[in-house]
């Protein structure tokens, strides 16, 4: 193991990889291999029931030391405290509903839960389970308890589950898990690459400290009358994920959104409804910003006349005359101040790359995030996304299907690279 924690004494980071009993345990093998490849000392700890899904011998071969499965067979009389005290970080992948419940409840009746309870190191849990279990209030409550204690959760993705069902609950991609672990350790110990198409690697978790970021999110609502409006399918999830990721990385963030008013810590929310509201908020907020990201789906057209009272069927079908809304991103591009990084999105269903490239040039942005919203699990309202980040400098970064949080981090990695080059 050649890697070190930046600023440490030279020993490689010591990570306990906990594996609990779910079908996704086979993906923990890949997590183990990637961490070892990145120069991490990996101590695998499997619950006894996890060994029904994947053998101890596999982790013996791939980990940095033999895998452990029990409190009772080690030479050390107290393996749970040895591992917990020595760990620089513990990551549990997959974390089943049962494991989360036992950890949240402070149970310590096997080696993995005992190690989790006996550590002061950062802990990352990567839940994986069927959608019904993932959405159960007890599971969500246990997660909330763990988050309130400082545990990091790498959210599961939407996709194919055991038995062929499709839904939320699939273990996050191993590359995403490893990326988060390395981020929490303060960077990749050894010339680490996160795998084809994955942006990032080696960034510090506070690499946006002191940076002012403005993000827009959600679909605007253009009124027809007091009770009806034109809108689109944007939920605001991708914009919210960007704002929250930027705040986690130390930025001062303003989120201009038509979505839910709540956002994570460190994000100031400015709620808006229409394209006109969003334009006013974005132009004013962008004046003092270092980074501006337009993830919102702004309506391109709005009714030319807004009726003052509710339209009634008895009066016949209304003649809805539409007019274009202001192009906020283009205006931000025109007013952009020196050194500011401007990011746009292009949501397309065909000729995606060609159209995104045209928008990159027309709107005067540094990065255009091409989003093929016709692909399964991609774009509007999903918890996952897949994008290609096009740079005005000719760079192209593919970000394969993953959680919107992970996509946000990949975009912010590109933003950080531009900021440090200015």
Residues that bind ligand PMT (CB under 6 A): 218, 234-239, 275, 294-298, 300, 325, 327-329, 344-347, 359, 371, 373, 379-381
CB of 69 to ligand PMT, least distance (A): 41
Cα 172–chain centre separation: 10
C-beta closer to ligand PMT: residue 29 or 298: 298
C-beta closer to ligand PMT: residue 71 or 347: 347
CB of 238 to ligand PMT, least distance (A): 4
C-beta closer to ligand PMT: residue 26 or 301: 301
User: CA quadruple 346, 348, 353, 356: dihedral positive or negative?
Assistant: negative
C-beta closer to ligand PMT: residue 136 or 336: 336
Residues sharing a CB contact under 8 Å with residue 320, sequence separation 6 or more, in sequence order: 224, 303
For residues 41 and 56, what is the distance between their CA atoms, to the nearest angstrom? 17
Q: Is-catalytic flag, 371?
A: no
Q: Which of 142, 232, 371, 385 is catalytic?
A: 232
Residues sharing a CB contact under 8 Å with residue 25, sequence separation 6 or more, in sequence order: 19, 46, 50, 53, 54, 94
CB of 240 to ligand PMT, least distance (A): 8
CB of 393 to ligand PMT, least distance (A): 19
C-beta closer to ligand PMT: residue 142 or 397: 397
C-beta closer to ligand PMT: residue 110 or 405: 405
For residues 62 and 66, what is the distance between their CA atoms, to the nearest angstrom? 9
CB of 224 to ligand PMT, least distance (A): 18
C-beta closer to ligand PMT: residue 86 or 336: 336
CB of 198 to ligand PMT, least distance (A): 18
CB of 237 to ligand PMT, least distance (A): 4
Spatial CA neighbour of 203 closest among 213, 192, 195, 212: 192
The residues annotated as belonging to the active site are 232
């Amino acid at each position: 193991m050649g890697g070190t924690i930046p600023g440490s004494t030279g020993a490689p980071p010591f990570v306990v990889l906990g594996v609990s009993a779910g079908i996704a345990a086979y993906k923990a093998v890949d997590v183990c291999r990637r961490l070892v490849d990145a120069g991490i000392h990996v101590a695998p700890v499997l619950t006894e029931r996890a060994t029904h899904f994947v053998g101890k011998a596999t982790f013996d071969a791939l980990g940095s030391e033999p895998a452990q499965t029990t409190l009772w067979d080690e030479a050390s009389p107290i393996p749970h405290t040895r591992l917990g005290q020595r760990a620089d970080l513990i990551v549990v992948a997959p974390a089943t509903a049962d494991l989360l419940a036992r950890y949240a409840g402070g149970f310590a009746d096997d080696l993995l839960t005992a190690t989790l309870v006996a550590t002061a190191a950062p802990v990352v849990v990567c839940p994986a389970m069927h959608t019904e279990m993932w959405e159960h209030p007890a599971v969500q409550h246990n997660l909330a308890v763990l988050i309130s204690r400082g545990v990091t959760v790498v959210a599961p993705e939407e996709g194919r589950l055991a038995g062929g069902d499709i839904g939320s609950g699939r273990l996050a991609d191993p590359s995403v898990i490893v990326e988060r672990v390395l981020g929490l350790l303060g960077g990749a110990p050894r010339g680490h690459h996160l795998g084809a198409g994955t942006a990032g690697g080696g960034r510090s978790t506070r690499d946006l400290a002191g940076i002012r970021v403005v993000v827009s999110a959600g679909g605007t609502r253009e009124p027809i009358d007091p009770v009806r409006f034109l809108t689109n399918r944007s939920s605001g999830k991708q914009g919210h994920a960007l704002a929250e990721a930027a705040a986690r990385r130390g930025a001062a963030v303003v989120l201009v959104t038509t979505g839910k008013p709540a956002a994570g810590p460190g994000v100031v929310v400015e709620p808006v409804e229409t394209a006109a509201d969003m334009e006013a908020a974005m132009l004013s907020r962008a004046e003092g910003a270092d980074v501006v990201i337009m993830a919102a789906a702004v309506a391109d057209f709005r009714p030319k006349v807004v009726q003052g009272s509710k339209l009634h069927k008895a009066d016949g079908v209304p003649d809805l005359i539409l007019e274009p809304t202001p192009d906020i991103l283009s205006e931000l591009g025109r007013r952009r101040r020196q050194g500011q990084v401007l990011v746009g999105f292009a949501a397309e269903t065909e000729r995606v790359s060609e159209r995104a490239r045209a928008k990159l040039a027309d709107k005067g942005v540094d990065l255009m995030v091409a989003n093929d919203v016709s692909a399964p699990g991609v774009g509007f309202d999903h918890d996952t996304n897949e994008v290609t980040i096009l740079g005005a400098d000719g760079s192209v970064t593919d970000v394969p299907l993953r959680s919107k949080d992970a996509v946000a981090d990949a975009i912010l990695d590109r933003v950080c690279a531009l900021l440090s080059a200015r």
